[in-house]
A and B are shown apart, each in its own frame.
Chain A
């Protein structure tokens, strides 16, 4: 019980399989509350697969299933009696490519709140969420316009805003800045620092500098000889980048590989 109070989410020997193929093997991670944890590693090592297993998005991939445990407040998210819809209401997700709904800016935020049974004043929630995502000043005069009228960086912040609006415990981010220009990227990173005051953030990134500047903890993933990805090192970010214990991590973070 002590443990589950300390950690936001915890995986025990979590493996993810596509049919007979094991894509991610034996992951043991203890994710700290209100910290940013980065998952890094070369392409195809299962970073996104692992991240998407945290809110059961992999359920939509035919033949994909998970073994092991993923504990949120002591409940195994992969036990049979867990409702994946409820899981996703507690663990939000921001995707690689901004994917706002083809609705108005206002409705993008209100929709999620409404389906989650939000009963309060919607106008206030919309404003609050947009402010938290550092987007309010830019869009306050055009809330009824289509979200597609926004720039890529603004769209991504809108996606973060709508995730915040449903008040999740954890926010998963799958390379949230990889489709954005450097300035938008920087804004997302600043935003993450603000958000971690209230939320636990897990981010997959290809960008080593991003992991180094923005995260508190880093999990290094690598593929094994059976093409299954696994976490080979998990530590505070500064240790991973300054004195990695694993030779492969060192090679990767110093750019000698990958």
Chain B
């Protein structure tokens, strides 16, 4: 008797429950999709606009009959006002300061990242991480004067008369300290993302902590560390304030870190700060430098990407 009642109920509900499977318009979905697309496209458009503007003005520079690619890439003196167009005078300083910065920040940043992700107790981590991140929040102009007024005197004590007051070494070192938190925090994210099971596998094979960190976890995290390196290089190449303050004003083709030399960014900042008439050769030359800066960053990024892809170890 009871079963019968249950059966009837079941069929009743079944026949009364109707479905509508037709498409519905969901306005919220389309609005959100449009907004997200807009956010995505905005940065792309900005980049395109910048490249367009750079290209347009740089064309004016290269359109000048006096300027040739042979001079631009072949000479080592930069003074467009008097017909010297050798970009290497500025590129050399950018490469030197960036190389110093990366050779400081990559090993130190990686070491800090390995310590934080593999060795540090939760307590030590809780203190160190925020402190490192404070470094990232210091304005670069402060770093610039830190280089000029604190680091340079120390270097003068070491190198004596061999080092100039404005020099690439001091700027490069401080730039390295500025980039350090970026590299360490991105690398630490990459290291922490390596599955625990890989560390356990290493330990279970009788690996020490160092062997596990350097030979298993680090190679597995290399793609993330590579991203950190690429971003670090871009920061170094593009950094302006530190080099403008501490590395010297005046193009100088030199790879000697003890000498003063002006980087591409430092030069743009200084020249554009003065009064320049539009369409003068000095004015358009700045866009050519900026375009070159773009190119240098691009090439360095491609190189580091290649290196990372060559050595990375993929886990799933």
Contact = CB atoms under 8 A, between A and B. Distances in A.
Among B200, B202, B206, B316: residue with most chain A CB under 10 A = B206
B206 A101 contact: no
Interface stretch (B23-31, B101-109, B207-215, B252-260): B207-215
A112 B316 contact: no
Given A85-B208, A115-B205, A101 B200 contact: no
B220 A115 contact: no
A112 B200 contact: no
B316 A148 contact: yes
Contacts of A60: 199-200, 203
A58 B232 CA distance: 38
A185 to B, nearest CB: 20
B206 A85 contact: yes
B205 A86 contact: no
Given A99-B198, A103-B313, A148-B314, A162 B205 contact: yes
Contacts of B316: 148
B197 A95 contact: yes
A103 B202 CA distance: 12
A163 B200 CA distance: 13
B313 A112 contact: no
Nearest to B197: A99
Among A57, A88, A92, A116: residue with most chain B CB under 10 A = A88
Task: Give the interface residue-count category, chain A.
Answer: 20 to 34
A209 to B, nearest CB: 27
Nearest to A100: B201
Given A102-B219, A115-B211, A148-B315, A93 B198 contact: no
A196 B49 CA distance: 70
A243 to B, nearest CB: 36
Given A111-B215, A148-B315, A99 B208 contact: no
A11 B215 CA distance: 34
A7 B258 CA distance: 69
A88 B204 contact: yes
A53 interface: no
A132 B145 CA distance: 65
Contacts of B200: 57, 60, 95, 99
B235 to A, nearest CB: 29
A33 interface: no
Among A89, A97, A101, A146: residue with most chain B CB under 10 A = A101
Interface residues of B, number: 23
A163 B313 contact: no
Among B122, B203, B204, B215: residue with most chain A CB under 10 A = B204
Contacts of B195: 99
Interface string A82-96: 000110110011010
A205 interface: no
Contact of A102 (B204, B205, B206, B220): B220
Interface in A75-134: 85-86, 88-89, 92-93, 95, 97, 99-103, 111-112, 115-116
B216 interface: yes
A200 interface: no
A103 B203 CA distance: 16
A163 B203 contact: no
A55 B232 CA distance: 41
Contact of B206 (A100, A103, A115, A159): A115
Nearest to A172: B204
Nearest to B208: A85
A112 B198 contact: no
Nearest to A116: B206
B201 A101 contact: yes
B225 to A, nearest CB: 14
Interface string B279-316: 00000000000000000000000000000000001111
B201 A159 contact: yes
B208 A55 contact: no
Given A57-B203, A101-B216, A116-B206, 10 more contacts: A60-B199, A88-B205, A92-B205, A97-B197, A99-B201, A101-B313, A111-B216, A112-B206, A116-B205, A159-B201
Interface of A: 55, 57, 60, 62, 85-86, 88-89, 92-93, 95, 97, 99-103, 111-112, 115-116, 146, 148, 159, 162-163, 166
Smallest CB-CB A-B distances: 7 pairs: A89-B206, A112-B205, A102-B313, A93-B204, A99-B197, A102-B315, A88-B206
Interface of B: 122, 195, 197-208, 211, 215-216, 219-220, 313-316
18 contacts: A60-B199, A62-B122, A85-B206, A85-B208, A89-B205, A95-B204, A97-B197, A99-B197, A101-B202, A102-B313, A102-B315, A111-B205, A111-B216, A112-B207, A115-B215, A163-B204, A163-B205, A166-B206
